[in-house]
Structure 1
C-alpha cells in the first residue's frame, strides 16, 4: 500500500503532466487546473514576475500564437514533498512547428515549481523558468540535459 507521501507525489506529477497535455492540445482551459489563482511566475520573458492565473495563461497563449503544433517535454522531475507544501525542479523544452511551417527543436530550460495543498489539491503557487547565461550575460540555449 502506498504511503501518503507517495500518493501526494503521484498527484503532483499528474499536475505537471496536465501542463504537458494542455500545451500539446493548446488548451488554455486545461492549463488552468494545475495553477493556484494567485500563482507567481518568474518566467523567461519580462516583466520580472507575472502575478495571478490570468497572467500565467497569457504567457502560454503567446506561445500558441507562434506555434501551429507544439510539444512540451519535461525531464528529470525531482520532488520534495511535505504535508502542505512541496517543491520540485526539472528540465523542460517547448518545441514544434511554427505558424510559418518551420520545425523547431526549441531549447531546454530549467524549471522550479512550488506547490501548495489547497482544498485537497496540489496546486502550483510559484514557478520559475530560466536559461543559463555565460559570463557576458548572454543566454546559453544549446545545452541539453
Structure 2
C-alpha cells in the first residue's frame, strides 16, 4: 500500500468513526476527530464556529434534540498528500426526536479539510451547506444525491 493509499484509508476510517460517534451520541469520541483549533462553517448560525468547544456545542444541541441519531455520509471523495487532505461528500442527519417524531433528514453538502498531526489525521475545517434558490432565498431541502 502506498503512503497516499494508507493516508486515504486512515481518513476514511476517521470519518466512519465520526459517523459512529454521532449515531452513538458520544461527544468525547466526536471531540477526538477534530483539531482543537477547528474552524467550522456549519448550517447553524453564526457564520463560523471557531475551536473544538464551539464545534461540539452544535452536536450537543443535536444530541439534546434527538432521542436517536442517524447520520449518513455518502459519495466521499478525497485528495490526500502526506500532511493535508480535503474531501467532499453528501451528509444526512436524521433520527427520532425526543418527542418520538421520526425525522428522515435533509441531504447537505459537506467539505472537510484535514491535517496530519504526528501520525494522526484530524478534521481542521468543515463546511456544511444547503443549496439555495437564488430567486426566493429558500433552502432547497428536497434534493437527493
CA distance in 2, matches of 1:62, 1:17: 21
Per-residue CA deviation, residues 46-71 of structure 1 (Å, 9 max, x unaligned), is 10100001111110010011100011
Q: Which residues of structure 2 form unaligned runs of 5+? A: none
Q: 1:63 and 2:62 equivalent?
A: yes
TM-score with structure 1 length normalisation? 0.97
In the alignment of these two chains, the number of paired residues is 144
Partner of 2:143: 143
Q: 1:104 and 2:103 equivalent?
A: yes
CA distance in 2, matches of 1:19, 1:71: 12
TM-score with structure 2 length normalisation? 0.97
Aligned CA-pair RMSD: 0.6
| Cα drift, residue 15 of structure 1 | 1.1
SS in 2 for 1:107: strand
Partner of 1:74: 73
Q: Which residues of structure 1 form unaligned runs of 5+? A: none
Matches within 5 A, 1:41-60: 41-60=40-59
SS in 1 for 2:96: strand
SS in 1 for 2:105: coil
The runs of at least 4 aligned residues of structure 1 exceeding 3 Å deviation read: none
